[in-house]
Structure 1
Amino acid sequence: MSTNARNLKNIFKPTNSKFYWLRIKINGVLHRESLRTTSQSVAAKKAKGRITELRGLAEAGELDWTFSTGLLKFYEVLDQESSGWGAQTRKRYRTSLRQILRVIEEICEDLGHDVRTVMAAEIKVATVSEFVSRRRSDGVTISTINRDLTAFGQLMTAMRNDGWIEENPVKHFEKQ
């Protein structure tokens, strides 16, 4: 099968979108993302480049740097008494992390993404802002949102310290 034919197999156009999308499974993980083009030939070229990039990340072990993997890793650290945080702080952070994952998962679903494939580096200030907006819409108090943001900030700091992201988007979010 030619490379071009393979790329056409990996692109599709959802009924509710004008853009072509990439869909490929690498190491058992389905990656689906918009190619942001209405041209099939441009989509095929973009798909080829993105597939090469994703395979390179997989070979380097960087494809595991997903947001959900980082959240799970941080959650597991909080189970350990030797984490450096007190029992109440660890309990509060775990509660916040469950809410963070739930809301980020909703945001991803609304955008047509699977939260398991969202890279840690894709969490931006706009994502944090949307998180806060959705928590407010749920009727959550400002105090609880601030506690969630503290846990979110610690989570993203852990990812930054592990070299997964360049900057912590929670630190750049300006509370109002």
Structure 2
Amino acid sequence: MKNKKTYTLDEATKVLENYCAYQERCHKEVEQKLYDLNMIPEAKEYIILHLLQHNFLNEERYAKAFVRGKFSIKKWGRIKIINQLKFKGISAYNIKSGLTEIDSNEYLTVLQTIAEKKSPLIKESNSYKKSSKLAAFLISKGFESELVFKTVKSLI
């Protein structure tokens, strides 16, 4: 068994400050990092409190950054974003706050654009099968089914 490096409270605090400064983190990620550093429960509590007090850790800010990133870069829909945030242990309030980062008009435009790009790639002569495949793809991206069906109907 290899010896793991041990950290003093100050060293661990610095490691976690850098970890949080590099990119937004949620409590779950910070707790996992502290676990990986083999910190005792009292030290974990102290460090998390320190990170919160010095604004290194802010779940509302994390939720907003997560929503912006997943929507603008990965083109995820609201449902997939909400599920991922729930999985990360983000509160309903912070999820709702994060979702305000998505502009409704831009959301519909992105859905339309993805549908228009994907549609010609689906090699299916039967229009019913083609529209179901397109709808399934868009739903898997996390878009709401009623919006997906409207979009698919307008295209096919």
More relative contact order, 1 or 2 (CA 8 Å, 6+ apart):
2
Q: Is this a same-fold pair by TM over 0.5?
A: no
Interval of TM-score (by shorter of Structure 1 and Structure 2): under 0.3
More strand by share: 1
Give the TM-score normalised by the residue count of structure 1.
0.25
Return the index of the structure with the highest Cα Rg: 2
Give the TM-score normalised by the residue count of structure 2.
0.28
